Structure 1
Amino acid sequence: MIELAGSDIGRWIAGYLWVLFRIGAVLMTMPVIGTQLLPMRIRLYLALALTALVAPQIAEVPQLEPLALSTWVVIAEQILIGASMGFLLQLLFQIHVIAGQIVAMQMGLGFASMNDPAMGVSVAVVAQVFTMLVTLLFLALNGHLVVIEVLVESFTTLPIGQTLQAVDFHTLVLRFSWVMASALLIGLPAITALLIVNLSFGVMMRAAPQLNIFSIGFPLTLVFGLFILWVLLGNAAGQYHLLASEALIWLREMVGAR
């Protein structure tokens, strides 16, 4: 008969529980897996499966009392680390959402919105196209596997029980400016082309005031906008590769991974 002491049971539970908190926080906040497209039960099963694989590979975890304040501090640290990693990945997707919103407003499709099943909010149709495109590229280029690799390596660079002073959250805050600048760069070609189209309509209206610019300009702007959007999507893979590379590099820097 196998007899287990209370300390052995506590050590065994803690070894898996701390890992589960960090992995679960990442899976609940990261793109694709952390969206409403994937049921909560599936995310929980995936977190449990990754925990069962990762926990035996990490170093010894600290032994803490279940109701002690230090235990809750460790829990909060693991959740905060995991949520920060998922939030940084969300910035990569929100870049394309903002770019799609900007292009939609310029081409006259800002009013055409639909429900985003991933986030549960209404977004412009163009932004939804950008979101679906970046989601497919993220999965096709094995972005989810890279995230899991960095997550597993974070248990070595940021051991459980280590204070949050080693995590560079200041760098995470500075990424907001990167989001807006990158979104503007993605939509800048379309914005410039549509601006030239609108200026041409202004010259036409000035030269021939009898023309009804509203009945002529809106359909033409929409047609030109769709053509420009088609040209813009031709280089979407290259732009996504650059932005995804930066995002994953920053993710590694945040957790101190190589």
Structure 2
Amino acid sequence: MFEYSLDELARTISSYTWVLFRVASVFMTMPVFGTQLLPARVRLFMAMILTLLVAPQIPLAPELDPLSLGTWVVIAEQILIGAAMGFMLQLLFQIHVLAGQIIAMQMGLGFASMNDPSMGISVAVVGQVFTMLVTLLFLTLNGHLVVIEVLVESFTTLPIGETLGAADFYTLVLRFSWVLAAALLIGLPAIIALLIVNLSFGVMMRAAPQLNIFSIGFPLTLVFGLFILWVMLGNVGAEYQALAAESLVWLRELVRAS
């Protein structure tokens, strides 16, 4: 018969509990897996499987005392670290969503919106197209496997009991400006091309005032916008690769991985 003391049992439960909170927080907030497309039960099941694989390999964790305030503080720290990692990955997807919104407004498709099943909100159709492309690229290039690798490594570089500092959260807030700049750079070619088209219609309107600019300009702007969008899609892979590499570097820096 195997003898298992209460202290050893408490230590085992503690090591698995700390890991579960961080892993589950990442799966609940990261793109693709943290959306409404995947049921919460499936995400929890995946988090439990990963916890069973990772927990025996991490350094010693503090023992769990359910009645102490320190236990709840450590739980909050693990949830915060996991949510911060998932939020960092969400920024990569929101760049392309925002770029799609900008392009849609410029080409006259801002009114054409549809329900986003992953977020449960209405977004522009162009933004939804960019979201689907980024999702497929993320899964095709094994981005989810890289995220799991960084997550497992974080238990060594950012052990249980340590938390993110104020500088880490300040850096995370600064990423918002990076999102706006990157989205603008993605949509800048379309913005400039459509601006030239609108300027051409303005010159035509001044040269021939009898032309109805609304009945002629809107359909042509829409056609030119679709053509520009088709040209832009040929470079989406290279842009995504550069942005994804930068996002994953920041994700590793967030958990202090080398």
- Does TM, normalized by the shorter one, top 0.5? yes
Q: Percent identity?
A: 77
Question: Is the contact made by 1:197 and 1:221 (CA closer than 8 Å) also made in structure 2?
Answer: yes
1:201 aligned onto 2:201: yes
CA shift for structure 1 position 167: 7.2
Question: Is the contact made by 1:167 and 1:254 (CA closer than 8 Å) also made in structure 2?
Answer: no
1:83-232 residue pairs with structure 2 within 5 A? 83-165=83-165, 168-232=168-232
**What is the TM-score of this pair, normalised by structure 1?**
0.98
Letter in 2 for 1:141: L
Distance 1:257 1:67 in 2: 33
- Structural RMSD (CA): 1.1
Distance 1:166 1:152 in 2: 23
Counterpart residue number, 1:71 = 71
Instruction: Give 3-state SS (helix, strand or coil) of 1:174's partner.
Output: helix
Instruction: Kindly provide the CA deviation profile for residues 108-162 of structure 1, in whole angstroms up to 9, marking residues without a partner as x.
Output: 0000000000000000000000000000000111100000000000000011112
Between the two proteins, the alignment pairs up a number of residues equal to: 258
Distance 1:182 1:250 in 2: 15
Instruction: Kindly provide the CA deviation profile for residues 29-66 of structure 1, in whole angstroms up to 9, marking residues without a partner as x.
Output: 00000000111111011000100000011011111321
Q: Which runs of 5+ in 1 are unaligned?
A: none
Letter in 2 for 1:65: D
Residues 166 and 178 (structure 1 numbering): CA distance in 2 closer, same or farther, change over 3 Å?
Answer: closer
Counterpart residue number, 1:246 = 246
Letter in 2 for 1:171: T
Residues 123 and 163 (structure 1 numbering): CA distance in 2 closer, same or farther, change over 3 Å?
Answer: closer
CA shift for structure 1 position 5: 2.4
Distance 1:207 1:164 in 2: 62
Question: Is the contact made by 1:113 and 1:123 (CA closer than 8 Å) also made in structure 2?
Answer: yes
Distance 1:30 1:63 in 2: 28
Distance 2:165 2:219 in 1: 56
CA shift for structure 1 position 165: 3.2
- Between 1:169-178 and 1:44-53, the stretch displaced more is 169-178
Counterpart residue number, 1:35 = 35
Counterpart residue number, 2:50 = 50
**What is the TM-score of this pair, normalised by structure 2?**
0.98
Letter in 1 for 2:28: M
Distance 2:167 2:108 in 1: 43
- Between 1:48-57 and 1:3-12, the stretch displaced more is 3-12
Instruction: Give 3-state SS (helix, strand or coil) of 2:118's partner.
Output: coil
